[in-house]
Amino acid sequence: KEQDPDIISLQEYMPNPDVVLSAYPYQFEKLNGDNTKIGQIMASKFPIVSSGSIEFPNTSNNAVFIDVVIKRDTIRIYNIHLQSLHISADVAGLNAGNSNMLVKKTSETFKIQQEQAELFLEHKNQSNLKTIITGDFNNTPYSYVYRKIKGNYNDAFDMAGKGFGRTFDFKFFPIRIDFILSDNAFQVNGFTSISEKYSDHYPIIAKLKLH
């Protein structure tokens, strides 16, 4: 509420009376599940003229997008949630046996993420709209999927962030796995990582200006 962004992207969203989005008249959500609904939601103060979902096979993860009208421009914003490693934030009690299992699990997850990134890029490359990419990549800036998705886009943290830019509550060191990327149609004027912990991730905000 205090930050009052124009557009919000949420991953692993569950409808909750504590999450009030009434200030956003335009919304698109893609939820999965029979009893407990969970998925992604995007909320905008600007009119949404198109929206959709890129489904990733054999998982509840996906990428959603909205096309919004800002003045005379139509902007596409993606919200990605790549496959999770499902590793505890403190990784306590790791021994030789389950560390080997962790290596195998990590390798399998990275392969799935790569396939998901390729599906996303196939969709993105069909559009010529000015584009912003937001999301939880479940991987770091040093990863293949980050470099692949980023391409020649600008990472808002790199352009205007400070410190480590921690977005995930990992016990041993700061880790950044959530990103806001924009193409060269935008100027990055600010980046903030919110210290309040609403989940195991910390919210991030970028201030972008159309050239």
How far is it, in rounded angstroms, from Cα 180 to Cα 182? 7
SS3 (DSSP) at 106: helix
Token representation of residue 146: 């980050």
Question: Where residue 190 falls among pLDDT bands split at 50, 70, 90?
Answer: very high
Predicted structure pTM score: 0.90
Instruction: Report the helix count and the strand count for the chain, using DSSP H and E.
Output: 3, 11
How far is it, in rounded angstroms, from Cα 124 to Cα 127? 6
Report all structural domains of the chain as residue ranges with CATH numbers, in order of start.
Answer: 7-210 (3.60.10.10)
Q: Give the Cα-Cα-Cα angle 152, 153, 155 (nearest 5 degrees).
A: 125
Return the CA Rg of the chain.
17
Average of pLDDT values for 64-75? 97
Average of pLDDT values for 69-78? 97
Closest CA to 177 of 145, 136, 207, 211: 136
Say whether pLDDT at 43 is over 80: yes
Which strand (E) or helix (H) includes residue 191?
Answer: strand 186-193
Say whether pLDDT at 206 is over 80: yes
- Find residue 9's DSSP bridge partners: 42
Average of pLDDT values for 68-77? 97
Q: According to the model, what pLDDT value does residue 95 have?
A: 52
Q: According to the model, what pLDDT value does residue 172 have?
A: 53
Instruction: Give the chain's mean pLDDT.
Output: 88
